Amino acid sequence: MASKNFLDTLTPTQRIVAGVLILIIGGIAALLRIQQEKHAPPGGPTGDNRNVRFGTPAPAERDPNSRDAYLIERPQYTLSYNDTKRTANWVCWNLTKGDIGNTPRLSHFDPDPELPGSFRKVKHDDYTGSGFDRGHLCPSKDRTDSADNNAATFYTTNIVPQSPACNRGGWERFESHCRDLTRDGSELHIAAGPHGTGGTGEKGPHDTIGGAKVNVPSATWKVVLVVPAGNARPGPDSKMLAVWMPNDQSVPEAWKPYQVSVATVEQRTGYKFFPLVPDDVAAPLKAREP
So what's the pLDDT on residue 8?
A: 64
Q: Any binding-site annotation on 49?
A: no
So what's the pLDDT on residue 188?
A: 98
From 39, 108, 124, 136, active-site residue? 136
**Residue type for position 10:** L
So what's the pLDDT on residue 40?
A: 44
Say what percent of the chain tops pLDDT 70. Answer: 85
Q: Are residues 25 and 70 in the same domain?
A: no
The per-residue pLDDT for range 93-108, each reduced to its tens digit, is 999 999 999 999 999 9
The per-residue pLDDT for range 29-46, each reduced to its tens digit, is 545 444 444 444 433 333
As a whole number, mean pLDDT of residues 49-76 equals: 98
As a whole number, mean pLDDT of residues 221-250 equals: 96
- Residues 168-205: b if buried by 16+ CB within 10 A, e if exposed: ebbbbbbbeebbebbeeebbbbbbbbbbeeebbbeeee
- Residue 209's CB is within 10 A of a number of other CB atoms, namely 23
Q: Are residues 257 and 138 in the same domain?
A: yes
Say how many Å lie between the first and final Cα of the chain, rounded: 77
Mean pLDDT (the chain) is 91
Domain housing 25: 1-39
Q: Are residues 32 and 142 in the same domain?
A: no
Q: Are residues 210 and 132 in the same domain?
A: yes
The per-residue pLDDT for range 176-222, each reduced to its tens digit, is 999 999 999 999 999 999 999 999 999 999 999 999 999 999 999 99
Q: Are residues 58 and 145 in the same domain?
A: yes
Give kind and range of the element (H or E) at residue 214. Answer: strand 214-215
Considering the entire predicted model, what is its pTM?
A: 0.84
- What's the domain count of the chain? 2
Q: Are residues 1 and 142 in the same domain?
A: no
Lowest mean pLDDT, pick from 23-32, 119-128, 208-217, 273-282? 23-32
- 28 — pLDDT class (breaks 50, 70, 90): low
So what's the pLDDT on residue 22?
A: 66
Per DSSP, the three-state class of 198 is coil
Q: Are residues 31 and 175 in the same domain?
A: no
So what's the pLDDT on residue 18?
A: 64
The per-residue pLDDT for range 137-160, each reduced to its tens digit, is 999 999 999 999 999 999 999 999
Q: 9 exposed, middle or buried (CB, 10 Å; 0-12, 13-18, 19+)?
A: exposed
Q: Are residues 111 and 169 in the same domain?
A: yes
Distance CA 56, CA 60 (A): 9
**What sign for the dihedral angle of Cα 74, 44, 68, 84?**
negative
CA angle 244, 153, 179 (to 5 degrees): 55
Q: Are residues 14 and 64 in the same domain?
A: no
Q: Are residues 50 and 86 in the same domain?
A: yes
**Active site annotation includes 136:** yes
Say what percent of the chain tops pLDDT 90. Answer: 82
What share of residues in the chain are helix, strand, coil (percent, to 5)? Answer: 35, 25, 45
Q: Are residues 65 and 161 in the same domain?
A: yes
- 48 — pLDDT class (breaks 50, 70, 90): confident
Q: Are residues 28 and 63 in the same domain?
A: no
